[in-house]
Amino acid sequence: MTIQTAVAAYLLFLQLVLLSTIYAFAPTPSKNIIIASCVSSKTISSAQSQMLPIRTVSKTMVRSVSSHIPASGEAVTKLAQQLIRIPSITPDDNGCQNVIRQRLEPLGFQCETMQYQDVTNLWCLRQSPLHSAPTVAYLGHTDVVPVGPPSSWTLPPFGGQIHDQNMLLYGRGAVDMKGGIASFVVGLERFLQDHDSLPYSLAVLLTSDEEGDAKYGTRVVFEELQKRGITIDMAIIGEPSSLHQVGDVVKVGRRGSLGGTLSIIGVQGHVAYSHLARNPIHESLGALKDLVDERWDDGTTDFPPTSFQISNIQSGTGALNVIPGFKTVQFNFRYSPAVTDTELKRRVHGILDKHGLQYTLEWGETTVPFESAPGGELVEQAMASVSDVMGYSSRPCTSGGTSDGRFVAATFPHAQIVELGHRNETIHKIDECVSLKDLKDLSLIYKRLLDRLRIVEERKQDGQEYTDHHVSVAALP
């Protein structure tokens, strides 16, 4: 061994001793940096190099939230977190809409808060310079349902925290639907970065009265818009419509809803003297069975048959020896376009009258069924946008409960409507959560949809009639 080789070996030995000393006293994150950056790859065997990431991960189980978020999805995640951290149990908006307003006004939107009773609504419009331009509106809600027992949650329901192991953002409203609002707003921001002048007007309507009675939310805003001569031609509703993957289902319609409260009148008496009383429980059994067994229609191509469900029955005094004098039954129809609410009411009365009941029947508010016209550009371009971004096909669907789409259909009968949002498996549940990847992907889908609609509207304004226009992906930014 030469003197030079001996000196080099001794210096290398001193460096290793120094690194070992630093490693022993350094905090955990610094250790990982040292392991990753200071050991030459030439001095690590194949087996050691395969083990290195395992050791690194094991020493970084607690990491900052920002390190979890892909750069392209960070803006969506941060906005979703900001909204989730605002407790906004229906009908209290509690400032959520101001957050969105501050994002939209710099983009050229004229924003207006419409307060009705204890409900807050935000209407934002970015008017196209073209006189005949259609209006494309995004509808959402900032109110959420109650959280249930907070102690039952894995992470605080209004904490907006990300679980380290599954990369899920937890919190009430993560899916329904603050996460959807965040995805749309960020997608909209990125879309407008590329396009200043548009062939359509853009609108955003948010309400704090979707999860509640829905009396002073979207419906009354639409009434005001009608007075102003404003129409909505295409509505994108951010309700969580997806099942297994983001965008695998696009809701294109909803069944109607009709509820009623039936009060059957009897004569209260002692059970030992039943001939002196009239039992409304006994008298109504046949009629209720007929209502349950009735086939109200056969549905349509896109809608299942109408269903009738009894949801509540109340009767009795609580005493075992008293025949009750009344019975109250609450029920609900979810009905298809194959039947009308007027026909349903007539047939219900017919069945009750056939059984000779003495009764009163109070009908609730009717929600009419709706469906976007087949072949419309909104439905087709929404499904194509999912395919562009996700690489799989989506399918149109009309299942589920009601949404604010019913107010669009009732106020603007010719409007095209789609519901496109996050996966709905955790809505209203303890531990409601959304995947960070889903937040990013849905934002990209919304941006692509706005791009596709831009191209379609430009072609129409050039005199091309819309007949299933194929929008080439190459034509999109």
Q: What is the pLDDT of residues 115-161, one digit of tens each?
A: 999 999 999 999 998 888 999 999 999 999 999 999 999 999 999 99
Cβ-in-10-Å burial (0-12, 13-18, 19+) of 471 comes to buried
Cβ-in-10-Å burial (0-12, 13-18, 19+) of 293 comes to exposed
Please say if 365 is a catalytic residue: no
Tokens of 460: 């129409």
Q: Determine the Cα–Cα distance for residues 101 and 206; give it in Å rounded to an integer.
A: 10
Model confidence at 315: pLDDT above 90? yes
In this structure, what CATH number is given to the domain that contains residue 167? 3.40.630.10
pLDDT band at 56 (very low <50, low <70, confident <90, very high): very low
Position 461 scores a pLDDT of: 84
Q: Considering the candidates 92, 93, 143, 388, report the single residue annotated as catalytic.
A: 143
pLDDT, mean of residues 59-81: 60
Among the candidates 363, 382, 409, a domain finishes at 363
Which residues span the domain enclosing 21? 3-62
Same domain, yes or no: 44 and 92: no
Cβ-in-10-Å burial (0-12, 13-18, 19+) of 277 comes to middle
Same domain, yes or no: 49 and 143: no
Model confidence at 192: pLDDT above 90? yes
pLDDT, mean of residues 448-465: 90
Q: Are strands 234-237 and 269-270 parallel, antiparallel or unpaired?
A: unpaired
Same domain, yes or no: 187 and 115: yes
User: What residues contact residue 196 under an 8 Å CB cut-off, 6+ apart?
Assistant: none
Same domain, yes or no: 358 and 447: no
Same domain, yes or no: 54 and 124: no
* Strands ordered across the beta sheet of 307-315: 307-315, 326-335, 256-265, 359-363
Q: Considering the candidates 189, 210, 388, 457, report the single residue annotated as catalytic.
A: 210
Q: Are 393 and 383 in contact (CB under 8 A)?
A: yes
Q: Where are the beta strands (DSSP E) in 179-237?
A: 201-207, 234-237
Same domain, yes or no: 236 and 182: yes
Which strand (E) or helix (H) includes residue 323? strand 322-323
Position 73 scores a pLDDT of: 84
Model confidence at 463: pLDDT above 50? yes
Q: Which of 27-41, 338-352, 354-368, 430-444 has the lowest mean pLDDT?
A: 27-41
Q: Determine the Cα–Cα distance for residues 187 and 167; give it in Å rounded to an integer.
A: 21
Same domain, yes or no: 216 and 309: no
Position 400 scores a pLDDT of: 83
Q: Determine the Cα–Cα distance for residues 346 and 140; give it in Å rounded to an integer.
A: 36
Cβ-in-10-Å burial (0-12, 13-18, 19+) of 165 comes to exposed
| Cβ neighbours around 34 below 10 Å, total | 15
Position 313 scores a pLDDT of: 98
Q: Which of 23-32, 254-263, 375-384 has the lowest mean pLDDT?
A: 23-32
Tokens of 237: 């509703």
Number of domains the chain is built from: 3
Please say if 143 is a catalytic residue: yes
Same domain, yes or no: 153 and 238: yes
**Tens digits of per-residue pLDDT, 199-216?**
999 999 999 999 998 999
Q: Are 389 and 441 in contact (CB under 8 A)?
A: yes
| pTM of the full structure | 0.77
Q: Which of 186-190, 193-197, 247-251, 272-276 has the lowest mean pLDDT?
A: 193-197
Among the candidates 363, 384, 399, a domain finishes at 363
Same domain, yes or no: 39 and 187: no
pLDDT, mean of residues 273-279: 97
Position 475 scores a pLDDT of: 56
